[in-house]
Amino acid sequence: MSERNLLMIPGPIEFEPSVLRALGEKTRSHLDPVFMKAYGRAIKRLREVFLAPTAQPFVVAGSGTLAMEMAVANLVQPGDKALVVNSGYFSDRIGTMLERHGAAVTHARADVGSVPSAAEVDTVLATGGFKLMTITHVDTSTAVLAPVKELAAVAKKHGVLVVVDGVCSVGGEALEMDAWGIDVAFTASQKALGCPPGLAILLASPKALATSKARTRPVAAMYLDFAEWLPIHEAYEAERPSYFATPPVNLIMALDVSLGHLVDEGMGARIERHAKLANSVRAAWQALGLRPLPMDTAVSANTLSALYYPPGVDAALVKAVAAEGVVIAGGLHPALKPKYFRVGHMGAVSRADLVTTVSAIERALRACGHPVEAGRGVAALG
């Protein structure tokens, strides 16, 4: 396939050329002053991106799933009670992970395309004894957006730690870690942060760090232990040499460049841009008669769309769109996998990318025997 196709899946995404250039530079020593400075700056920039001046960032080699496991491994001991606010595939994943770490897990579930309400969660937490609650900010399997602020407020009322899976949201959806009382939020480099895959990124509140420190048994997985990584991150932030495990030097150089773009754009402006582009692409889907999985716009993510295939169309559409030069994703939620497709629109995404994507989907729909008027979706983009 041509290298000039357009990658519009929910991560990895299209990256800024400046980020890719940083990745391709000569690999420095992990103790090189230039690298120490970049790592330290990336750590500081993460506090700005997560709106978390009091939190401790961790950046380690791995994917979003490793960041998820780092959260679970540090906060959970066998027998702890955890509540999963379940909105789909990635909520199921953290539920399974919590169980493997010995937690007693309760799920608050909603119908596919929706998310449990703060009132429902309040009722479950009121039964007592929960140590932590997890929220999937954007469930990438359904494009459902959870009301993190409201849900976190309920958990705080019950004195329960709040863990947010922000892998498909941080850098694209509003998230105010400190103001909303979130204890751990994590993401991965390849989604709305706009850096190639390979970095697990986690921010821990002082309370989350204290919880891990107060464990009666050390974290079994040494690579995931906050206590191992804390002095390393403190040293890099102070541009002092230190070593625990070799950092992915080039990826961290690239992350620093990418976070620089986020900070320069400003988080408010960036969230607003994602909201505007998402509104415009939603109008295009509607004009094309494509029905979204999320039940209403209040629970619709701005970072991606999940859309049912129209009658008579199946997963062949994804291939037909690829033939138009645009890469989109099929379904992921096990209950509905063959019935829908997904389009990512996060990070460096532009209006031009949406014009190209909507137009490719129009043409592919026609190629799949579904008549849509040429230009109808593109016109609706506004």
Ligand X SMILES: *Cc1c(COP(=O)(O)O)cnc(C)c1O
Handedness of CA 192, 195, 196, 201 (dihedral sign): negative
Interface stretch with ligand X, choices 47-55, 134-142, 211-219, 258-266 (CB under 6 A): 134-142
Provide the minimum distance between the beta carbon of 335 and ligand X in the complex, in angstroms, as a whole number.
17
Scanning 214-350, the segments in alpha helix (DSSP H) are 226-237, 249-265, 267-287, 316-323
Provide the minimum distance between the beta carbon of 164 and ligand X in the complex, in angstroms, as a whole number.
10
Dist CA 271 CA 257 (whole Å): 19
3-state secondary structure of 112: coil
Of 62 and 377, the one with the shorter C-beta distance to ligand X is 62
* Candidate residues 188, 201, 202, 253; the one interacting with ligand X per rule CB under 6 A: 188
Provide the minimum distance between the beta carbon of 243 and ligand X in the complex, in angstroms, as a whole number.
25
Residue type, 170: V
330 is a contact residue toward ligand X (CB under 6 A): no
**Residue from 187, 208, 190, 206 nearest 198 by CA:** 190
Angle of helix 33-49 relative to helix 226-237, nearest 10 degrees? 110
Interface stretch with ligand X, choices 132-140, 206-214, 305-313, 372-380 (CB under 6 A): 132-140
Q: Which residue is nearest to ligand X (CB)?
A: 64
64 is a contact residue toward ligand X (CB under 6 A): yes
Give the C-alpha distances (Å, rounded to integers) separating 260 from 58, 159, 252, 346: 17, 35, 12, 16
Interface stretch with ligand X, choices 71-79, 136-144, 149-157, 339-347 (CB under 6 A): 136-144
* Candidate residues 16, 47, 61, 65; the one interacting with ligand X per rule CB under 6 A: 65
* 268-294 CB burial, b ≥16 within 10 A, e <16: eebbebbeebbebbbbbbebbebebbb
Of 5 and 63, the one with the shorter C-beta distance to ligand X is 63
Footprint of ligand X (CB under 6 A): 11, 63-65, 90, 136, 138, 140, 165, 167-168, 188
